[in-house]
Structure formats: C-alpha cells, structure tokens
Amino acid sequence: MQKLLERLIYLIASFLAVTVVLTLHEFSHAAVAYKCGDPTPKMNGRVTLNPMAHFDLLGLVMFTFAGFGWAKPVPINPYNFRSYRRGLTLTAVAGVAMNYLTAFLWCPLYLLALRGTGIEGLDYFLGLFTLFLYTYSLSFCVFNLIPLPPLDGWRVVEAVDRRQGSIYRFLQRYGNIILLVLIGYHFLVSVLSSSGYYEVSTILGYADVLGWIMNYVTQWIGWPIMKLWGLVF
C-alpha cells in the first residue's frame, strides 16, 4: 500500500511539473511570435497560460513517464514578422530560453524542499515536484535544441539556412521520422533497464543517441545553475 501511494504521488508530481514546463515553453513561443508581428498564435488561442491550449496527449504521456516529450506546436506565419529572420529566430529560441530561465528559478526551490517541513508525505511530494520542475525544464530545453522538425532547433535552422541544400531537404522530409525512431529506441532502452534487463539495455545503450544527448548535455548546461545556487545553500 505504501509503495502504491508513493507511486501515485510520483505520477501526480510528474504530471503537474510537466504541465507547468510545457505551458511556459509554448506560451513563450506564442507571446514572442505575437510581439514580432504575427497574429497567428493569438488567433489560435495560444497566447495563454491555460495548459489545455498547449497539450499534445502523446507528448504529455511521454513526458510524464519518460521524462521528455513535446507539446502542440504553436502555429506561426513567419511572413507576418516585421523581420523574417529575426522574428523566426527569436520565436524559435523563446521556448528553450524560458526553460533555462525557469530551471534557474526552480533550482533553489528544490534545494529548499530538501530541507523538509517535517511532514513526511508533504516533503516527499515537494521534493519530487520541485526536482521535476528543475530537471524537466532542462531536459525540455535540451530536447528542443535538437535540429530536427518539428523541434525548436529546426526553426533556428530554417531561420539561418537560406540555401536549403540536399541535407536540409532530407531532414525536412524525414526529420520527424528520425526523431520518432530516436525516441522509440531510447524508450525501449529505458523500459529494458527499468525491467531488470541490465545487460541488454547496456549493450543497446551504446547506440542510444538521444539518451547520450539528454544525459550529458543536460548535465553540462545544468552544472552552472547547481554550482551557483550551491554557493547560496
């Protein structure tokens, strides 16, 4: 019964953290695009902090259970921007910038939660919730920097690559399939590892490109945040 309750608290904390992280990410895209002159996000009801406007069901489930996922892309028309390249670039980086900024803000809350309140159940929830806010913000930041459609990294490529050569056209056509394969492979490795098939998951893990990116890049960009707040706490 105790383990079941802990698992329930874990899932609730994860879901709530995902809700916050995804909402802030997509809201920042919509708000920046609107400020740059494109009314499309406003017309589609995306300049809002209402989570329901941004959820993609599969991406939400993946984020809750796997630690990374996606939201419903914000529709934009870059030809409405006052400056095409500037507007597209700012809109693309707005989400990851928001995630990194909020990771910086969630970190001290997590460190404070570790001190506890003396109420066991509350301490467990707050510890998980603030940890998820921090780690999910970083992982979503890193995940969206991958230059494959429909992620933010691809929008940056679109903004700066005017030649649009053969590699660009290949990724534009097959990038989403490549991304799904990377996600599926990483999810398979994670399931095998959590199910106790450590030898198989270790062998397959060498080819887990997404896992390598998520683990090492997330640690790298999170190091300055932890280092700075570690001086305070």
Active site residues: 26
Q: Are the beta carbons of 160 and 85 closer than 8 angstroms?
A: yes
Which residues in 116-154 are b (16+ Cβ under 10 Å) and which e?
eeeeeeeebbbbbbbbbbbbbbbbbbbbbbbebbebbbb
* Helix spans in 38-151 (H): 40-43, 57-66, 84-113, 120-145
What span, in angstroms and rounded, lies between the C-alpha atoms of 216 and 211?
Answer: 8
Question: Encoding tokens for residue 11?
Answer: 């899932």
- Among candidates 149, 12, 178, 155, which has minimal Cα distance to 70? 149
What span, in angstroms and rounded, lies between the C-alpha atoms of 164 and 181?
Answer: 24
Q: At how many degrees (to 10) do helices 57-66 and 2-35 cross?
A: 130
